[in-house]
Amino acid sequence: MADRQPNDPRTVAVVGATGAVGEVVLRLLAERNFPVGELRALASERSAGSTVVFDGQDIIVQEACPESFDGVDFAFFAATGSLSKTLAPEVAKRGGVAIDKSNTWRLNDEVPLVVPEINPDALEKHKGIVSCPNCTTIGFVMALEPLRREAGVKSVVVTTLQAVSGSGKPGLEELARQTAEVDRGEAPTPSFYPQPIVGNALPLCEDFREDGYSTEEIKLLNETRKIMGVPDLDVTMTCVRVPVPVGHSATMLIETERALSPERAREVLSAFPGVEVIDDPSANVFPTARDVTGRDEVLVGRVRKDLASDRLWLWQVSDNLRKGAATNAIQIAEEMVRRGLK
């Protein structure tokens, strides 16, 4: 392996190749010219025998099983948490690297949780499984880290506005179906979400816990602390599902350790790889979910000082299927190749 060159072809598996994230992983592997030798498209037995497209070629989908990973260098997991739990260790056992998009391994001390622009060194300690943060966490930490490096961060209050594709294809299908129902003059019927998502905003992403927070909110808290290496970082959050197909938005109120002006905040955000500032209130210019759809950058706007304190407000959007999922996962693989780790 030591002699392996970055451009030598790798054998790649995509688990969940028929899903919302899996489809984007397939597209971006080709778009980013990742050195794919052989591509294995894996899903459940429901989709076995169907085809997905990779780099202009039809690939037959196979049911994922331990043997699917014989000879695999990188396996991108974008299926279910329970599948990652059983099959990611099978990849590691066979000498490959599983890059997991599910929640399963994120807080495991043996597993790096990586956003390549922020903590790539964590990859050096990998043991065959690397975890990708939640789609909401990635946009959040990408906007926070430049400010933390400049001025330290004491606390953050964040409210997210999350697209339905963050729940995968079932979320997209529910919004499309309810939109058609409303167009026909019918009442929208909830099935996947507990209340209608069309024309609505639901202050619940995933499930409620006994303490009144949602599981999504607690992921955002714990993952941020792990990625930034600040175990007691004070983050308080409300995650809201909105009828937007793609693109998570968030409003963030940030208390820094040292004084930070909005002007300097814009400068350090603009200088950070993967972040772009779009912020001109005098011309009604700010980034939106529509603007970020199909892009890999995290877009930041509305940077301003709080009226009642020295804290800073900002607005942040990212494509949950790209930087929030597929792009970040492929960047992890690219970084591992660059470092000679695979």
Ligand X SMILES: NC(=O)c1ccc[n+]([C@@H]2O[C@H](COP(=O)([O-])OP(=O)(O)OC[C@H]3O[C@@H](n4cnc5c(N)ncnc54)[C@H](OP(=O)(O)O)[C@@H]3O)[C@@H](O)[C@H]2O)c1
Nearer to ligand X, 256 or 293 (CB): 293
DSSP 8-state secondary structure symbol assigned to residue 96: -
Q: How far is the CB of 24 from ligand X (least distance, A)?
A: 8
Helix (H) or strand (E) holding 8: none
Q: What is the rounded CA–CA span in Å between residue 296 and residue 318?
A: 8
Helix (H, G, I), strand (E, B) or coil at 257: coil
- Phi first, then psi, for residue 236 (nearest 5°) are -125, 140
Q: Which residues contact 268 (CB under 8 A, 6 or more apart)?
A: 146, 147, 149, 150
Q: How far is the CB of 1 from ligand X (least distance, A)?
A: 28
Q: How far is the CB of 296 from ligand X (least distance, A)?
A: 14
Q: DSSP states of 304-336 as a string?
A: EE-SSSS-EEEEEEE-TTIIIIIHHHHHHHHHH
Nearer to ligand X, 196 or 324 (CB): 324
Q: How far is the CB of 98 from ligand X (least distance, A)?
A: 13
**Residue, CB closest to ligand X:** 19
Nearer to ligand X, 72 or 265 (CB): 72
Closest CA to 101 of 83, 82, 136, 77: 77
Nearer to ligand X, 256 or 318 (CB): 318
Q: How far is the CB of 64 from ligand X (least distance, A)?
A: 4
Q: What is the rounded CA–CA span in Å between residue 4 and residue 253?
A: 46
Query: Quick one: 48 exposed, middle or buried, by C-beta within 10 A (0-12, 13-18, 19+)?
Result: middle
Q: How far is the CB of 269 from ligand X (least distance, A)?
A: 23
Nearer to ligand X, 174 or 255 (CB): 174
Q: Active-site residue among 126, 132, 135, 205? A: 135
Q: What is the rounded CA–CA span in Å between residue 204 and residue 193?
A: 9
Query: Quick one: 111 exposed, middle or buried, by C-beta within 10 A (0-12, 13-18, 19+)?
Result: buried
**Residues forming the site for ligand X (CB under 6 A):** 16-22, 43-44, 46-47, 64, 78-81, 83, 101-102, 134-135, 165-166, 168-170, 320-321, 324-325
Q: Which two tokens stand for residue 249?
A: 């938005």
Q: Active-site residue among 132, 205, 239, 248? A: 248
CA distances from 118 to 138, 142, 179, 221, 227 (A): 10, 8, 39, 16, 8
- In the annotation, is 239 catalytic? no
Q: DSSP states of 113-167 as a string?
A: B--TTT-GGGGGG-SSEEE---HHHHHHHHHHHHHHHHH-EEEEEEEEEE-GGGG
Nearer to ligand X, 209 or 338 (CB): 209
Burial 49-61 (b: 16+ CB within 10 A, else e): eeebebeeeebeb
Q: Which two tokens stand for residue 293?
A: 């759809």
Nearer to ligand X, 267 or 291 (CB): 291
- In the annotation, is 65 catalytic? no
Q: How far is the CB of 131 from ligand X (least distance, A)?
A: 10
The residues annotated with a catalytic role in the active site are 135, 248
